[in-house]
Structure 1
Amino acid sequence: MRNIFCSIPTEMDYKGQQLAERIFQGIILVSAVTGFIYGYITEQFEWTVYVFMTGVALSAVLTLPPWPMYRRNPLKWLPAQESGAEEKPAERKPKRHTKS
């Protein structure tokens, strides 16, 4: 069982995070407005809460897992350097400021 869970990708790229945030905000906004209107019409505050909480649950299911649509733009990392191939930074001399 451990191999199955280790093979599941858990990362999102930056554009995927932005998309997830927009989806989350859109669903929350629509469910809040819809819940308020429906609760106002029925004069039942509990329906406002039910509609809003349904929106929260839906947005959690759509945005919390790292779905493939959030991993379309992976970062390109530089290749790793060998530990013995590290270069020492060049020594820098302090700059002298000229008097004006």
Structure 2
Amino acid sequence: MDFLNSIPTHMDFDGQHKAERFSRIIISLFGVVGLVWGYIIQQFSQTVYIVGAGFVLASLVTIPPWPMYRRKPLPWQKPRSENAGESNQKTKKKK
């Protein structure tokens, strides 16, 4: 169970942008190649197979959170302690 919890499951915003761009490029490239190849050999089924292969490749490249998609994590603020929040609310009520 510890092994499953140690697997990173997130991407940063820059990584999400890269993944979307890669998927669009891969699917578009395979779509054009598939359309041209299918036209040359007059088989629409070949176009569908090539586009399907592009979709599978794009999925393998972009869906898992590879390390190249996790290079710029956001610096999140530290959570405030509960006591600090209560004392802050008490001072606001007195005013």
Q: Normalized against structure 1, the TM-score is what?
A: 0.86
Distance 2:13 2:32 in 1: 29
Secondary structure of 1:65's counterpart equals: coil
Matched, 1:79 2:78: yes
Task: List 4+ stretches of structure 1 deviating above 6 A.
Answer: none
Give the CA RMSD over aligned residues. Answer: 1.2
The equivalent residue for 1:40 is 39
The residue type equivalent to 2:65 in the other structure is P
The equivalent residue for 2:4 is 5
Distance 2:73 2:26 in 1: 26
Aligned pairs for 1:46-57 (under 5 A) are 46-57=45-56
The structure with more helix, counted as a fraction of residues: 2
Distance 1:90 1:64 in 2: 47
1:62 positional shift: 0.2
Distance 1:14 1:44 in 2: 40
Unaligned segments of structure 2, at least 5 residues: none
Residues 9-63 of structure 1: per-residue CA shift (max 9 Å, x gap): 0000000000000000000100000000000000011100010000000000000
1:3 positional shift: 1.1
Q: Normalized against structure 2, the TM-score is what?
A: 0.90
The residue type equivalent to 1:57 in the other structure is V
Distance 2:92 2:32 in 1: 60
Distance 1:80 1:11 in 2: 20
1:90 positional shift: 4.2
Which has the larger Rg? 1
